[in-house]
Amino acid sequence: MPVQGIRTVTAARNGVGAFILQCKRLDFHYCDWAGSSRGMVSFLKNSLASFAKANPQIEIRVSPRPHKHPVIKGHYINGREKAVCVRNLEPEQIVQKANLLKEASGEKNKRTKKPVTSINDSVRGIWSPFHGDTKTV
Amino acid sequence: MRSSLRLLNLEAPTLQGSKTLYVCSVCRQETRPRPALARQFLRNSSTTPITERVRRKIWGTDSPPGLEDPYGGQSVLEKKFKKDQPEQRPQRTQEPDDGWRNIDEASAGVETAPSGEYEPATTWEGLARVGHLGRWTDFPASEVDEYTSFKSKKRLTKPNHHALAAHQAAVEICLMQSLNKPLASVCDVVEHQEPIFDLLWKCRIKPADGQWNGALVYPDEKAEQVLAYVFEQIGSQAQTESAAEDAAEADEAEPETVDPEAPRSLFFNKAHVRDKGYLRLSLADPATKFAFLKRFSQLTGHYFPDPVINSISSVREAIQYVGGELSLKSLKLDAKPQKLGPQLTASKTLQDLPNVKVFEKRQKRVDRDEELGRKKVIEAALRERGLIQ
């Protein structure tokens, strides 16, 4: 009886066909008293509405956290959380941090060592024109 | 001396001197004639340099021919340094700085050290100062370093003094306005002489609708001329030169600051202001307000906080604040800053967004349990175990 290989079935890849944003919730915490929350307060007053309007699929919660530094906390669909302290940051920098959390997958940060990342690794490596026989046209 | 060397000749003198007075080994070494080996070492301590000694040994005589120093004497840098030294010396001593002078004197003393015998110092006097870097912290305070307060040191507390100060400031600013001079420069002259102050005191202010323009009424024409001449000299210097022709009047009417050491009477013992028209003057114009409050603050010694300056709108209110009738509380300036939570909750744009939820209070674990629907279960379990009532 001939040996049969296991048949590959298409695995779901986020973004192939449909893209589901991994971030489901963003919590914004601030302090009314502390100076390190000045940028955060300014962001919440002026930029939060536009940010929320641009990202309707993310739930946004704003709550005070007295006598603590301001924090943005992202909740992801894989059950993980990511928190970024935004003390003494300007509103523009806070927007950048919020976007960073929004675009994150929720996975732990991994170090990429190889030049190409693939789910179907090549055995031959990356092709280079400077290796092998000289080709003449 | 080396210990091995010392041991060589130790025995014989000890035996010899055993019958006489006891001498310790150190003293015995001092008095004992030195051996040839020890003399060899001592030769190194002579003033003759080693190069010269080598030369003598080579030639076999104490006066060998050729240069004393076989390596060509001083180097180029040494020669240059010696040549430059006499030129630098007088330049340094001309510096006015005391600290540097001390250092120079000290260094000069080292170089021109007398060839006489060395005498150890018993006191610090006359010795070179070591470790002085000549920084500004080491020098005594100069005239520039002295601080003089802008405001008067004494805060006036009596209402009549406040009124006199406000009247004087108002009249001065009216004068500066009529002369088209910078208003705030009235503060350049802290206190006027008595005849000038008398003229200022006699002036009346009759403002029309709180306006400063044309509000000043002089007692007579001569007073107007004198005051105009005096205040012409305050502020910019360009106009002063044109007015300086009248030298006779200048001696009498030149504004001078009063010597702070001399005993002074407040407002030259004037008890009250002659009219109360100045109270109606408006402080709506920011430049006028700034100039008036600056001068008023200088005369009375009272400080005006920024929120108060912002809220004051007339001369009457300024006097009321100084007199204690107005306070931060009555001006409603002591209100606590509004919290962000209620502001965001009231915001219409955020209310319209379905994905935004604003909490006015801190969210705790209990709130999370309640939201997830397990608060009742947890409470029931705790009650069952008797942990909560």
In what helix (H) or strand (E) does residue B357 lie, and over which residues does it extend? strand B356-358
Is residue A42 in a domain? yes
What is residue B72's three-state secondary structure? coil
% of chain B exceeding 90 in pLDDT: 35
pLDDT at A61: 97
User: What's the average model confidence in pLDDT over B210-229?
Assistant: 90
> Choosing among A21, A27, A41, A63, which should be mutated to test the B contact, i.e. which has the most B CBs within 10 A?
A63
Which among B337, B306, B347, B335 has a CA at the least distance from the CA of A34?
B337
pLDDT tens per residue, range B17-67? 445 677 788 887 777 766 555 455 555 556 787 888 888 888 888 888 777
Please tell me which residue of chain B has the smallest CA distance to A56: B355
Residue B115 has pLDDT above 60, yes or no: yes
Is A79 or B19 the better-scoring residue by pLDDT? A79
- Which of the residue ranges A123-132, B93-102, B265-274, B353-362 has the most confident prediction, judged by mean pLDDT? B353-362
Interface check for A63 against chain B (CB to CB < 8 A): the answer is yes
Three-state secondary structure call for residue B358: strand
Q: Answer yes or no: pTM beyond 0.80.
A: no
A64-73, A117-126, B132-141, B351-360: range with lowest mean pLDDT: B132-141
Is the CB of A81 inside 8 Å of chain B's CB atoms?
no
What mean pLDDT comes out for the span B213-221? Answer: 89
pLDDT at position A130 is 80
Q: From A63, which residue of chain B is nearest by alpha-carbon distance?
A: B359
Residue A33 has pLDDT above 80, yes or no: yes
Cα-Cα end-to-end distance for chain A: 48
Q: Which of B126-135, B146-155, B245-254, B373-382 has the highest mean pLDDT?
A: B373-382
Chain B residues near residue A61 by CB distance under 8 angstroms: 356-359, 363
Round to whole Å and give the CA distance between B183 and B170. 11
Residues 6+ apart with CB under 8 A from B96: none
Give the rounded percent of residues in chain B with a pLDDT score beyond 70: 72
Per-residue model confidence (pLDDT) at position B109: 45
Which residues of B are less than 8 Å from A44 in CB distance? 340, 344
Instruction: Inspect the interface and report whether the beta carbons of A56 and B357 lie closer than 8 Å.
Output: no
> CB contact, 8 Å: A54 with chain B?
no
Pairwise CB contact (< 8 Å): A44 & B356: no
What is the complex's ipTM, to 2 decimals?
0.84
**A40-55 per-position pLDDT tens digit:** 999 999 999 999 999 9
The answer to whether the beta carbons of residues B173 and B289 sit under 8 Å apart is: no
In whole angstroms, what is the distance from residue B389 CA to residue B348 CA? 42
Poorest-pLDDT segment among B90-99, B203-212, B348-357: B90-99
Per the structure, the complete domain to which residue A78 belongs is given by 23-103
pLDDT of A126 reads: 85
Q: Residue with structure tokens 């091995």?
A: B4
State the residue for tokens 């009216």.
B174
In a 3-state reduction of DSSP, which class is residue B381? helix
**How is residue A16 written in tokens?**
């192939």
Q: Tell which wins on pLDDT, B307 or B334.
A: B307
CA-derived radius of gyration, chain B = 45
**The predicted structure's pLDDT at residue B272:** 87
What pLDDT is recorded for position B285?
Answer: 92
Q: What is the mean pLDDT of chain B?
A: 78
Question: Is residue A124 situated within a structural domain?
Answer: no
Lowest mean pLDDT among B182-191, B199-208, B232-241: B232-241
Q: What's the pLDDT score for residue B371?
A: 92
Most confident of A19-33, B312-326, B333-347: A19-33
**DSSP string of chain A?**
----PPPP-PPP-TTSS----SEEEEEEEE-SS-GGGHHHHHHHHHTHHHHHHH-TTSEEEEEE-TTS--EEEEEETTS-EEEEE-TT--HHHHHHHHHHHHH--SSPP----SS---SS--SS----TTSSSPP--
For residue A79, what is the domain's CATH number?
A: 3.40.30.10
Q: Is B386 left (phi over 0), alpha (psi -120 to 50) or beta?
A: left
Residue B120 has pLDDT above 80, yes or no: yes
- B365/A contact by beta carbon, under 8 A: no
Q: Into how many domains does chain A fold?
A: 1
| 8 A C-beta contact, residue B353 and residue B362 | no
Instruction: Please check whether residue A77 lies inside any domain of the structure.
Output: yes
Q: Do A44 and B340 touch (CB under 8 A)?
A: yes
Predicted confidence at residue B20, as pLDDT, reads: 64
Q: What is the mean pLDDT of residues A112-134?
A: 83
pLDDT at B214: 85
CA distance A8 to chain B (A): 40
* Mean pLDDT score across all residues of chain A: 92
In chain B, where the domains are located: 3-59, 74-106, 159-323, 340-384
Cβ separation A55–B341 shorter than 8 A: no
Q: Is residue A108 one of the residues assigned to a domain?
A: no
Residue A85: inside a domain, yes or no? yes
Mean pLDDT of B172-191: 91
A89-101 mean pLDDT? 97
Give A63's pLDDT tier (boundaries 50, 70, 90): very high
Q: Is residue A17 part of a domain?
A: no
For residue B104, is pLDDT > 90? no
